[in-house]
């Protein structure tokens, strides 16, 4: 499918455009979220990127659209920030419901663990955090991540592995 | 050496049964599995594809290609420029705005600042800061009460309507309410600027400014009492006590039958209305009557 000749030369076709949206919008959102955190409204960045694509639809062929979307979203977000620590929120309700009848000692340890985890995550470089979260949380294969980010599979592997190592070091203090 | 290989295989879901056994035997195995499991708690918020598409479609105008008239093309360009300029202005404004965190009656919040400093915000308080210039200067605006655990770094300044509090890295509580101002230092040292004068507080020092007088005293505690959900008072007018009471309970007091300038020493809890009312009324020989949201105080 990847090698098939593109049916459309540009993206100025509603059906092509919605297809692109369906395929990439969520990945684009997750990429921005894990890279920059929620502070910069990942959902708005997705909107902006697709609007930019639509404005320039004549110049961009469908097979170029993915990398165009990712770089537009990345750049517009970068424009609004210099550098800020990224703190990802954790789902406290989920941890509550699974451990409702746990003893307070356990709950306290869990809370400490998650807060250490949060700090450790924010210490990771953007690249490592994005690759790690897409793989572990969103269940993306190394190959898929490599394609999304436009890097080699080996690089993805390296990023995830060293993210994991660094998280363990920071959380367990080893 | 083998370990790295196993972990990488595990991360790409390619472990064979044998390798699984070996992987499970690693010392770090439970630790890695836990990290991988718990990562899910940090999942990005749900993304609603349909919602996003609908929004997008309503934002879009027809592509230039489909409209033969140049007129529309021009309008499209103008609209696009407007959208870009508008969103740029909006984004710029966003970053220059202060961040503002607010609590309601009976609500407290714990937050970490961009430099890992921690703030516990008490009820009915407002904390504001500028996240974009945070790295250069750590300045906060506080209205109400908050307990700070500041990580070391450059100057950390808390501005209140009474005066400024300046520290380097320490733990301290600031109470800035209409009926009084109080700074308590728990660790390190704190500099308070009040009415053009400067006061240096050492651990356990309390500086209060009430009825236009500055007094200093000592605390025996390592945390402000409100963190443990109680408010404590030392010879404080009942009027001020009631004002603080209203921060934690959504009630209205009727004090017409009593002398509200009497002094009160004691404490009340923040999570039990009856109990709290008893703590205030008993020592002063008063009784109370709850009538919906109204509390009537009267002499015994």
A47-68: pLDDT as tens digits:
989 988 988 888 888 888 899 9
Residue B66 with chain A: CB contacts under 8 Å: 12
Q: Where are the domains of chain B?
A: 99-218, 229-299
- pTM beyond 0.90: no
Q: B229-299: what CATH class?
A: alpha beta
Cα Rg of chain B, angstroms? 29
Window 86-105 of A, Cβ < 8 Å to B: 87-91, 94-95
Q: Which CATH number fits domain A95-172: 3.40.190.170, 3.40.50.300, 1.10.10.10, 3.30.360.10?
A: 1.10.10.10
Q: How far apart are CA A49 and CA A71, in angstroms?
A: 9
| Stretches in chain A below the pLDDT threshold 50 | 1-5, 93-97, 99
Q: How far apart are CA B195 and CA B162, in angstroms?
A: 8
Q: Is B71 on the interface with A (CB under 8 A)?
A: no
Inter-chain contacts counted by CB atoms under 8 A, chains A and B: 122
Q: Is B17 on the interface with A (CB under 8 A)?
A: no
Q: How far apart are CA B120 and CA B108, in angstroms?
A: 7
Q: Is B43 on the interface with A (CB under 8 A)?
A: yes
Q: How far apart are CA B242 and CA B249, in angstroms?
A: 10
Q: Is B110 on the interface with A (CB under 8 A)?
A: no
Classify residue B23 by burial, with Cβ atoms within 10 Å: 0-12, 13-18, 19+.
Answer: buried
In degrees, to the nearest 5, what angle opens at C-alpha B44 toward C-alphas B38 and B47? 140
B174-187: pLDDT as tens digits:
998 888 899 999 98
**CB–CB contact B11 A48 (8 Å):** no
Query: How many whole angstroms from its chain centre is CA B268?
Result: 23
Q: Where are the domains of chain A?
A: 14-80, 95-172
Q: Is B30 on the interface with A (CB under 8 A)?
A: no
**The CATH number of the domain covering residues in B99-218:** 2.60.120.1440
**CB–CB contact B66 A164 (8 Å):** no
Shortest distance between the Cα of B139 and any Cα of chain A, in A, equals 16
Identify the DSSP state of A100: T
**ipTM, interface predicted TM-score of the complex:** 0.71
Task: Give the pair of three-digit tokens for residue A161.
Answer: 């592995």
pLDDT at B222 over 90: no
> What is the DSSP secondary-structure string of B30-66?
HHHHHHHHHGGGGPPPP--HHHHHHHHHHH----GGG
């Amino acid at each position: 499918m990847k090698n098939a000749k593109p049916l459309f030369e540009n993206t100025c076709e509603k059906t092509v455009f919605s297809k692109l949206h369906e395929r990439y919008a969520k990945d684009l959102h997750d990429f921005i979220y894990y890279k920059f955190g929620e502070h910069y409204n990942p959902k708005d960045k997705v909107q902006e990127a697709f609007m930019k694509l639509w404005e320039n639809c004549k110049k961009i062929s469908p097979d170029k659209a993915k990398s165009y979307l990712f770089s537009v979203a990345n750049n517009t977000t970068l424009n609004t920030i210099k550098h800020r620590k990224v703190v990802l929120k954790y789902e406290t309700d989920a941890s509550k419901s699974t451990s409702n009848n746990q003893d307070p000692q356990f709950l306290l340890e869990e809370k400490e663990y998650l807060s250490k985890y949060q700090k450790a995550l924010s210490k990771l470089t953007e690249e490592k955090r994005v690759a790690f979260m897409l793989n572990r949380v969103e269940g993306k294969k190394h190959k898929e991540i490599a394609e999304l980010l436009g890097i080699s599979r080996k690089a993805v592997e390296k990023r995830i592995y060293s993210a994991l190592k660094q998280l363990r070091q920071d959380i367990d203090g080893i | 050496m083998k370990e790295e290989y196993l972990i990488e295989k595990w991360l790409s879901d390619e472990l064979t049964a044998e390798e699984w056994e070996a992987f499970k035997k690693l010392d770090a195995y439970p630790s890695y599995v836990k990290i991988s499991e718990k990562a899910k708690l940090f999942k990005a918020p749900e993304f609603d594809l349909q919602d996003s598409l609908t929004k997008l479609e309503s934002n879009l105008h027809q592509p230039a290609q489909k409209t033969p008239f140049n007129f529309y093309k021009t309008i499209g360009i103008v609209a696009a420029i407007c959208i870009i300029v508008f969103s740029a202005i909006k984004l710029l404004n966003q970053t220059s705005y202060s961040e503002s965190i607010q609590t309601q009656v009976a609500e407290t919040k714990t937050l970490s600042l961009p430099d890992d400093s921690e703030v516990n915000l008490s009820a009915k308080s407002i904390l504001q800061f500028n996240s974009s210039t945070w790295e250069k200067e750590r300045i906060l605006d506080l209205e109400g009460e908050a307990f700070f655990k500041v990580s070391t770094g450059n100057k950390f300044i808390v501005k209140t309507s009474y005066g400024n509090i300046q520290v380097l890295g320490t733990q301290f509580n600031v109470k800035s309410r209409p009926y009084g101002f109080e700074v308590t230092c728990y660790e390190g040292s704190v500099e308070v600027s009040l009415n053009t004068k400067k006061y240096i507080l050492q651990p356990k020092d309390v500086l209060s400014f009430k009825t236009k007088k500055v007094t200093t005293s000592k605390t025996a505690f390592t945390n402000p009492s409100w963190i443990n959900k109680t408010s404590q008072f030392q010879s404080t007018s009942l009027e001020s006590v009631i004002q603080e009471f209203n921060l934690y309970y959504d009630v209205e007091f009727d004090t017409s039958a009593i002398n509200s300038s009497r002094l009160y020493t004691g404490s009340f809890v923040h999570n039990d209305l009856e109990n709290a009312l008893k703590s205030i009324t008993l020592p002063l020989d008063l009784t109370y009557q709850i009538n919906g949201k109204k509390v009537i105080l009267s002499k015994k």
